[in-house]
Amino acid sequence: MKTIQSLFAAFLLLGLTQSAFAQGIGVRAGYNFSNVSEGKLGNTSNRDGYYVGLYKEVPLLDKLLYIQPEVQFSKQGFSTAVSDIDLSYIQVPILAKLYALKIVSIETGPQFGFKVSDDIKGLGNPDFKTFDAAWAFGASINLPFGLSVNARYISSFNEVIKNSDAKNQVFQLGAALTF
């Protein structure tokens, strides 16, 4: 429940910054395929999860280049030979979005993640970091009525578990609706 309240508060703050210019506000949701770079953890395998969030398109060059700040909840994780690890984050991507064609857009930018929970099944009690800085790359196919289908890859700069060299890696597939 705290996660939903945090997400609502972040969207409310995002909405309060809206000016009189035409700016698209939207929702996005989808499927996470997540893992970590191997580092000192040895072989790891994917954990499936989901993401749901809100965004706003702020035009820099109308119909061409936008800044797209977002707030999203992301459920991700990984498995080792002895543990299944589920992590939940509130993430704040700040993306540059380029409409290469009216139907295709590409996006890239930093993403800041704040761990809100972890669930470990199995052996060990790793010391998870609470902040995750990453870079996101993505593309969207833009359909009529504000609907889009998107894919995004997110790669962390810092390790997810202290002294492990393992970094979050997430591939997202989803849909968005801009109002």
pLDDT at 17: 44
What tokens were used for 62? 């109308």
One-character DSSP codes across 31-84 = EEEEEE--GGG-S-EEEEEEEEEEEEEEEEETTTEEEEEEEEEEEEEEE-SSEE
pLDDT at 127: 83
Q: Which domains, ranges and CATH numbers included, belong to the chain? A: 21-178 (2.40.160.20)
What tokens were used for 26? 């939207």
What pLDDT digit, counting tens, does each position of 79-112 carry? 888 889 899 999 999 999 999 888 999 999 999 9
What sign does the dihedral 72-176-150-146 (CA atoms) show?
negative
**b/e map of 13-49 (b: 16 or more CB within 10 Å)?**
ebeeeeeeeeebebebebebebbbbeeebeebebbeb
Give the mean pLDDT of 57-74.
96
pLDDT at 164: 80
Closest C-alpha among 134, 66, 131 to residue 95 = 66
What tokens were used for 88? 């939940």
Residue 71 has pLDDT above 80, yes or no: yes
CA distance 31 to 148: 15
**Is the distance from CB of 54 to CB of 72 less than 8 angstroms?**
yes
CA distance 56 to 150: 15
